[in-house]
Amino acid sequence: MSIVLSQEQEERARRLHGDCLVFDYIPPGEPIMLTPTATRVMEEGLAAGQHAGVIMGRMVQAGIDDLHDPRVRERLAAYWRGAGVNLVTSTLGGVKGETWDSLVADIARWHRRFRESGYFRQVTSVAAAEAAKQDGQVGVILNIQNTAPIGKDLEKVETLYNFGVRIIQLTYNLRNLVGDGCTERTQAGLSSFGLELVRTLNRLGIVVDLSHCGAGTVADAIEHSEAPPAFTHAFCKALVDHDRAKTDSQLTAMAERGGYLGILAVPFFLSRDPNAGLEVMLDHIDHAVGIMGVDKVGIGTDWGGWTSDVPAPLRPAVKAAFMAMGFREEHGIVIGGGIGDFKRYEDWIQITRGLVSRGYSDPEIRGILGGNFLNYFKKVVGS
């Protein structure tokens, strides 16, 4: 069902969306745009039976190689103008993020984008985020979604910090040396090394992200982290019983520590209804606001990998990659869709329209769209 607004509400939504600093969690950082070179790379990789992460990495590299062409740069800049999003956090390593080399390769790609794109700017502080918006650019905060590539070498955390990484998720779905992920068969807390890692993240000023972490890891990290942690892209277990969802008690504990929750837009996480629309995402926002307060909730769509811009020939390989990272059939992974009227990333304003339809005030919408994240980010990494 589409969201219907009055003309006055429509104008208000467009004004807010244009004025606000809009933040999102978008792992790939950019859409997949099928140029002839990217198509050839994809077809060759699929024919050779390559891992989806390898193929997507080479497709991304093909796109970066084309940044010398002003037409390509303008096409991509227009994409961001259409979405109206001006601050994102992007995941290093993608769907093949289990190796140190994959992280370093993605860091190199991003730093080339920062140099050559003209519209991306690296963000390691609130001031840099605000400056990027002021200059009409897209600010990018680098993150990783699994500490497995670090092993037990905390000097690698320092290296990631020096490269500009400011968000680190302790675990993905499965167990690593730090703790258990949300789809692991058993659930324990942080390991001794995990506690040491959290202390290192606190010392450096890196966000402790618990979005994919299991219950024990979440509880320990909330208790032992000196800085407030975050669920940067998650949803509410009270509304759907899913391994990736967070319970009301976890949301309460996060709020009590001054943490933050970004609600994702993944339809097969948010609802068991395969035809679920954007209303279910809004339901999760409403529920989270009721538990945590309207000043601690934002958006983290998790756009990418599962979305409509994944080319159809690549979708089976991408799903296989996700399944290898700890998802199971009961988690309902479907590749190639959107959620309601949010079918393409350029439809992002539909979320803002939805917030208007739910009766949030202008200051509350400004907070949910990006202000709440910036306030949280400032507490952890500084101004």
What's the distance, CA 358 to chain centroid? 24
The pLDDT of residue 31 is 79
The pLDDT of residue 176 is 97
Which H or E run contains 267?
helix 267-270
Q: Residues 6 or more apart from 130 whose CB is under 8 A from it?
A: 21, 374
CA distance 200 to 206: 9
The pLDDT of residue 35 is 82
Count Cβ atoms below 10 Å from residue 354 Cβ, excluding itself.
Answer: 22
Which of 260-288 are b and which e, b meaning 16 or more Cβ less than 10 Å from the residue's Cβ?
bbbbbbbbbbbbeeeebbbbbbbbbbbbb
Count Cβ atoms below 10 Å from residue 295 Cβ, excluding itself.
Answer: 18
Asked if residues 100 and 156 have their Cβ atoms less than 8 Å apart, the reply is yes
Angle, CA 226 vertex, CA 178 and CA 213 arms, to 5° = 35
Asked if residues 373 and 23 have their Cβ atoms less than 8 Å apart, the reply is yes
Count Cβ atoms below 10 Å from residue 54 Cβ, excluding itself.
Answer: 17
Asked if residues 103 and 144 have their Cβ atoms less than 8 Å apart, the reply is yes
The pLDDT of residue 96 is 66
Tokens of 292: 């945590």
The pLDDT of residue 104 is 95
């399944």: which residue's tokens? Answer: 323
pTM: 0.97
**pLDDT tens track, the chain, 383 positions:** 789 999 999 999 999 999 999 999 999 988 788 888 899 999 999 999 999 999 999 999 999 999 999 998 998 899 999 999 999 999 999 776 679 999 999 999 999 999 999 999 999 999 999 999 999 999 999 999 999 999 999 999 999 999 999 999 999 999 999 999 999 999 999 999 999 999 999 999 999 999 999 999 999 999 999 999 999 999 999 999 999 999 999 999 999 999 999 999 999 999 999 888 999 999 999 999 999 999 999 999 999 999 999 999 999 999 999 999 999 999 999 999 999 999 999 999 999 999 999 999 999 999 999 999 999 999 999 98
Asked if residues 164 and 121 have their Cβ atoms less than 8 Å apart, the reply is no
CA distance 324 to 170: 18
Tokens of 103: 């992280």
The pLDDT of residue 84 is 97
User: What is the crossing angle of helices 52-65 and 100-116, to 10°?
Assistant: 20
User: What is the crossing angle of helices 315-324 and 52-65, to 10°?
Assistant: 120
In 3D space, the residue among 255, 194, 203 whose CA is nearest the CA of residue 221 turns out to be 194
